[in-house]
Structure 1
Amino acid sequence: LQDVRKRVMWWFPFFAVYTIGLIPELSIAWYYKLILALLAAGFWKFLNMFFFDERLMNIIPVSVYLSSKIMMFFTWFVYLVPYVEMTWTKTILFWLNTVLLCYNFYMCWKTDPGFIKSNREQKLQTIIDLAEKQTLTLNQFCSTCLIHRPIRSKHCSACDKCVAKFDHHCPWTDNCIGAYNHKYFIGFLLFLLFMLSWCVHGTLAYWRVNCPFDIYEDGITGILYKVLRTSPWVFWVGTNAMIHIVWVTVLLSCQLYQVVWLGMTTNERMNHGRYKYLYGNFSESHGQGHNRRGHGHGHSHGPSGESKQKGQNPFDRGPIRNLVDILDFQFCGLIRPSRIDWMNLYSLPGQTPPPLGKMNFGVARENYQFV
């Protein structure tokens, strides 16, 4: 039964996205459209009542992304291409962007972000170190995975695993963003932004020919009337693309600012005060949540904890080197990324782990596991 629920929830966004645009587009009387809309709403209520499961809601964003992007490509070829002057250069760039977008999305979706694995013997040894030898504090210990967490790692409650250099959990790719797929996430956002721009460009070209308007003469209501009367489908797709451009631009800008300019993960920027290693005081950090390992993990991109002073973050190598590191780009030995094994880094590069004091059992769970 759960497998059926999962399939229904996966395919529902495809039905919803196309129904919203298709019903107004049909060449039938308005009351027939109203009847179809009511039937679609009733079908949604039926599925929501008998098939939707809140525990499986994490699969919805990926399905929404795929359905909306397939809809945009369909609209591009069926509605918009005849109105866009596609030279050979534009055609090559369009298909190159499409291939790179699909590649980066797939790699971001399916690549292991850096899930930290351990066998039974390693888990037992970690517990012994914690309980008997007192060579490990609770801030270094994940009580869910029963492992010794590397620096900059964090436990993801959505994936239920600890992730190396965790940035955040992205619902749109149904995967964590960590050490091994962060570059694909940035590439995904970049080429998605280009694709959305193509869609908006085609939409404006379509309107320019089929329903030319002037903001001063028609006003907002007049423009809406013209574009909706011409093609509700194109309006629906174009509006989606314009809205998506806003959040994709904001997310990409925040990502680049954090990883390139600050040299930080999203989690570290959100919880800057928790991580003393960002100030170069790792030797004093074992008393704070996540101190010894804090791979980032939060999805919000707000400004909290942004009081980074230049030179304090030991992982900040400057904007150019930070960009090279995150993209893992190298060129003939002239450009080389930093090769750090984030799965096994338990102290700052070039430093030995500081001596640990008495275990602090008063650390709240949310301070070291959840953002």
Structure 2
Amino acid sequence: MFKSGCLVRTTHVVVTWLTTVVLFLHNTDLRKREEREELLQPVLFGAIVLMSVILYFTVSLMDPGYVLFDSDTQIAPVDSNAEELEQMITQCDSLPRQRRCGYCFVLQPMRAKHCKKCKKCVRRFDHHCPWLDNCVGEKNHKWFLLYLFVQLLALSWGLQAAWSGFTVTSTWRQWFVQNGLLFGALLVTGIFSFVVLLLLSSHLYLVAINTTTWEFMSFYRISYLKSFDSEKSPFDRGVICNLWKFFCMGGTVAWEKVYSRGTSCAV
């Protein structure tokens, strides 16, 4: 119960709903519309906040794309290696040889990386998010971006609502007494809006060029990227194609095959 993941998720929920309650308790636009029985915007704002919380737990608790154990691993069941073997292709000189993870001993597909915190290898590993206490990988990356988008909507609206609710007083002391909680809500929504906007923008850029945070930050240390220009990913197929495949096509991708199309190895 007191693991870091439970603590982080509880903190997220508490901060989210406390901030929402503060916005409705003070004389903000949301409160004024509620008092005039114009309920559309207050209900819509609450729905967006609720959706952001649901998406947070969805991304936080779902499988990010853990690599299945292969047939050489003693721990795995016999039939658990089917998907791994299906995705493997014949090695050739232009393809870097698949390596076995030094921590969990599975045969890593291309673009996979071991996460020391999750203690598992993750397909198309992007990063481990401490705020989610989970990795962002092939299976939950698009959901992570959807969560960031909805969260940004909620934060931006909350920032505007907090700004609209301040009460003018004759002294600073009286001002802080009446507006202290609202000022705290303004700081929370303002800081997180800036952070989420940066995250969403950077991830959309990386998706558009078909690379990951790990690949972008460690380009010269990754075996299958060393021979390429740092500004060009071997998996890049153009912005439109990259975005279409990322958002509209699901399932596990054999990145060795995508990689080989840019080399002399035929598939």
Residue-by-residue CA offset, 1:62-83 (whole Å, 9 max, x unaligned) = 3322211011222233333323
Number of matched residues? Answer: 242
Structure 2: distance between partners of 1:177 and 1:116: 13
Shift of 1:185: 0.8
Q: Superposition pairs for residues 214-363 of structure 1, below 5 Å?
A: 225=173, 227-260=175-208, 262-275=209-222, 277-278=224-225, 308-309=230-231, 312-327=232-247, 329=248, 337=249, 341-342=252-253, 345=254, 347-349=256-258, 351=260
Residue-by-residue CA offset, 1:180-219 (whole Å, 9 max, x unaligned) = 1001111111111111112111111111xx2279xxxxxx
* Change beyond 3 A, Cα 1:277–1:226: farther
RMSD: 3.4
CA contact (8 A) 1:166 1:177 kept: yes
Partner amino acid for 1:106?
F
Which protein is bigger by CA-based radius of gyration?
Answer: 1
Structure 2: distance between partners of 1:230 and 1:276: 59
- Of residues 13, 21, 30, the one that matches 1:74 is 21
Q: Superposition pairs for residues 1-371 of structure 1, below 5 Å?
A: 3=1, 6=2, 56-79=3-26, 80=28, 81-83=30-32, 90-91=41-42, 93-118=44-69, 121-124=71-74, 140-207=99-166, 210-211=167-168, 225=173, 227-260=175-208, 262-275=209-222, 277-278=224-225, 308-309=230-231, 312-327=232-247, 329=248, 337=249, 341-342=252-253, 345=254, 347-349=256-258, 351=260
Stretches of structure 2 lacking an aligned partner (at least 5 in a row): 76-91
* Change beyond 3 A, Cα 1:57–1:96: closer
CA contact (8 A) 1:170 1:176 kept: yes
**Secondary structure of 2:72's partner?**
helix
Stretches of structure 1 lacking an aligned partner (at least 5 in a row): 7-55, 126-134, 214-221, 282-306, 330-336, 356-371
Residue-by-residue CA offset, 1:14-45 (whole Å, 9 max, x unaligned) = xxxxxxxxxxxxxxxxxxxxxxxxxxxxxxxx
Report % sequence identity. 26
Structure 1: distance between partners of 2:188 and 2:47: 23
Aligned to 1:22: none
**Secondary structure of 1:69's partner?**
helix
Structure showing the higher helix proportion among its residues:
1
